[in-house]
Chain A
Amino acid sequence: MVDPVTLGFSIAAIIIFIGFAGDVIFRKTGIPPILFLLLVGVIIGPVFGFVPTSLITPLLPLFATLTLIMVLFYGGMTMRIRALLSNSGRTAAQVSIYVISSTVIIAYLLSYFLGWPLIEALIFGSIVGGETSGAVVVPLAMSMGFKESPKSFIMLESALNSVLTAVLFISFVTIYQIGTGININNAVNSLVSTFSTGIVVGLVVSLFWIFILHNLNRHRHIYVLTLGLLLITYSISEALGGSGIFSVLIFGVVLGNFKLFTIIFKKKVRILGVKERLFEFQGEMTFLLTTFFFVFLGLLFNISYSNLMYTLIFGGLTLLILLGARALAVNVSTYKSQLSKDKTSIFLMCAQGVTPLVLMSLAIVDGVQLASQFIPLVTFVIISTNLITIVGAVLRKRGIVRGSGVSSRLF
């Protein structure tokens, strides 16, 4: 009998090696490592049972959030403010159309076909409606040769839609628990306040940190200190009612564009060397965390034969609605802009991950009666959207997909 610690270390080592090998294969063939890592998760979890899912599930929200923080910080450091600002209006349009239309349509159709009460159908709709996982799409966007503009569009979309789905989810659950009508005013207030607090906290902390880094740039362990501050930023923002992940993204953006802010504040700040070291370390950490995250996603693949038909039919229906809503949103948001050249690739970057998992577990905790019926559908949507994104990445790498050609046939 193998000792659990030894088994754990062995599995972890294998995962790391596969992740590295996957990265090498991706550079040669264009097939993202996500596919291999998901397969590993399926093999060691549902198939051979080396890692019981019940052991991982409670840790998943924490691990998933940590991965998201790392990924968004890393992604934020590569974004240029100009591209971010110029795309912000279109991203807002994309997020609003995708999230709201998919949530509402999914809710109404499943309520009709499955007989679910509308409010619970809306809760389900908000769980799967319109999220794109930063942990998946951000590393892919960075490695797929996107130009600055579509890259920041995809990154900003993943940060915004997670917050919007979370706000919708909380609003619907509150209605479910209290039994009152939808208060749109409160939902809008909550959304604006969440985003605004996230932006302000991220901005204040990052500006403070730039000037601290200037004074500490010769010290060792600066990266660890920055990591600590990153987690504090997330915590402070969440504690103050803001969006922690948005704060982290802003933190990364400000650090990555520190030269602009030093011009604004007319202060010479020498942190270029420090920033490069941070960027290098952050890249390694992000690689490690995303490798494990994709394996954990594979562990969730738990579709039993008894509900196979239910999962395939209604999971498939949900997926179709998501793709339809995404097509509409992408067409509208990229209309008459440079982004339209990459609209097929943007459309295919629909992988879901952290947020549906977290919201689904919250639905169970909050006592939503039908929550257990959500699980196979949510799992199906996560896996299938990831597969679609993987296919999109491969097609793009091989030059089959960009914006014209395939896109005109797709849309």
Chain B
Amino acid sequence: MVNGLPIMTADALSLNYFMIGVAAILITGFIGRALAKRTGITHILWLMVLGIIIIPVFGLFSRGTFLALMPDVASVVITIVLFNFGLGLNAHKLIKQISVSSLLLSANFIASVLLVFIVTHFIGYNYLDSALIGFAVGGTSAVILPFGSISRLVDEKTNILLNLEAMITEPLSVIFVLILIVVAALNTTNMELILTTIVGQFSTAIVLGALFGFAWVPLMAFMQHHKYEYSYVSSLAVVFILYIVTQDIGGSGPMAALIFGLLIANGEGLYHLLKYKHNKYFTLNRESRYFNDLISFITTSAFFVYFGGLVIPQDIYSLVVGVAIGLTIIIARQIGTWTSLARSSTPKVDKFFLSSMMTRGTGAAVSAALLVAYNVFNPSLITVFFSIILVTVFINGVMFARFNAIYKRLKQQEPPSGSQAQ
């Protein structure tokens, strides 16, 4: 005791920091979402800004310590994120609607990847690095989804297109990044070796993910049926075990988590197709989905604050590169949307709406973290991607506001209903 106060031991200090850290994550997560609701600007951006305030601005934590955690953070986050992507993929809906949206999806994805590839190569990145950045920002983030439901101004078909795009392109971009990371890690031009390694790793992941999924779905149904509490937690445990087993066997752990999530989300349909007689519901129940949302909240809050904490606001060059890439994405979006929908019956104002939905988010940020964790890029990439996300969010917001204004004007110009009858 000193002056009546207990002396803080090293362990007690560590515990304090840990508790402060946890509290900070939860509070900032809440604040981020509250600000998003208030302002209409996605919570991802607010969380990154809070991260910038905490570390680069106020220096409350050491950037070096944060950077050292990158490989572990990236592994955990990518596993949970891809698992969630898999859970969100409704295979039945996807297959039914894919033909409607395939042109728009592919046009936007390819245009984005290609144009970003060209611009980054022009800036000075080599072919592989340009491809990595291109794919990392190729996917449109799921944060665009509320725009469709908030506006209620667009066709149901347009909403479907938007949903599908968010459902497919973000995980797809992460998968391509994972594939190219393998290429970067091999550091060889031997095509046979590259192909064999990639196919082997991803096939192993698909098969193991499917096997675990097939085995887990009836077990999960059993637990849900007998109302064992927190059955979702055991599903999450299985995801982590699957990740470890797959990585150990030489497969891609994150890919296995995606396939596992996909199977759990579509377990009912799958077993029905195989004519497997069962009296228990084979899909995640409401309680499990609620817990899943909670885990996502904690993970994404922590991750985006962490991500923001690694941004270097003084790194003007990286910020400018990010702005350039962001603008490229905007142009690619216009090209992809207007050309693919040129002959479609989608109303012009809906086409404008779709062309404004370009925000990059979780997929891009997680891809950037992976690229830094695997030493493919140096940490300044984080600043580049922060800038990309900022630009796309900003332009998305501006164009959406413009869309609202156009729509209201069009509505005002329409003759009142019933006047033609007279």
Contacts and interface: CB of A to CB of B under 8 A. Distances in A.
B268 to A, nearest CB: 14
Contacts, number: 62
B95 A196 contact: no
Contact of B199 (A192, A195, A240, A266): A240
Contacts of B96: 266
Contact of B203 (A82, A239, A242, A263): A242
Contacts of A81: 274
Contacts of B203: 193, 196-197, 199-201, 242
Given A188-B249, A199-B207, A241 B95 contact: no
Given A188-B249, A189-B249, A196 B275 contact: no
Contacts of A197: 199-200, 203-204
A243 to B, nearest CB: 11
Interface in B361-416: none
A361 B1 CA distance: 81
Interface in B245-269: 248-251
Nearest to B275: A82
A260 interface: yes
For chain A, which range describes its interface: under 10, 10 to 19, 20 to 34, or 35 or more residues? 20 to 34
A305 interface: no
B421 interface: no
A192 B251 contact: yes
Contacts of A200: 199, 202-203, 206-207
Given A192-B249, A196-B208, A240-B195, A263 B273 contact: yes
Nearest to B210: A199
Q: Is the interface of A mostly helix, strand, loop or mixed?
A: helix
A189 B251 CA distance: 9
Interface string B278-300: 00000000000000000000000
Nearest to A237: B199
Interface string B206-223: 111000000000000000
A264 B95 contact: yes
Contacts of A193: 200-201, 203-204, 249-251
B384 to A, nearest CB: 34
B189 interface: no
A135 B414 CA distance: 75
B196 interface: yes
A136 B128 CA distance: 50
A265 interface: yes
A193 B199 CA distance: 9
B192 interface: yes
Interface string B321-339: 0000000000000000000
Interface string A239-258: 11110000000000000000
B95 A266 contact: yes
A185 B199 CA distance: 19
B207 A195 contact: yes
Interface string A171-208: 00000000000000100110011011101110000000
Q: Most chain-A Cβ atoms within 10 A of its Cβ — which of B203, B204, B248, B274?
A: B203
B4 to A, nearest CB: 58
Interface string A73-88: 0000000011001000
A264 B91 CA distance: 9
> Lowest 9 A-B CB distances belong to which pairs?
A196-B203, A196-B207, A200-B203, A193-B200, A197-B203, A196-B204, A189-B250, A240-B199, A241-B196
29 contacts: A81-B274, A85-B274, A188-B249, A192-B204, A192-B207, A192-B208, A192-B249, A192-B250, A192-B251, A193-B204, A193-B249, A193-B250, A193-B251, A196-B205, A196-B206, A197-B199, A197-B200, A197-B203, A199-B207, A200-B202, A200-B203, A200-B207, A239-B196, A241-B196, A242-B199, A263-B273, A264-B95, A265-B95, A266-B96
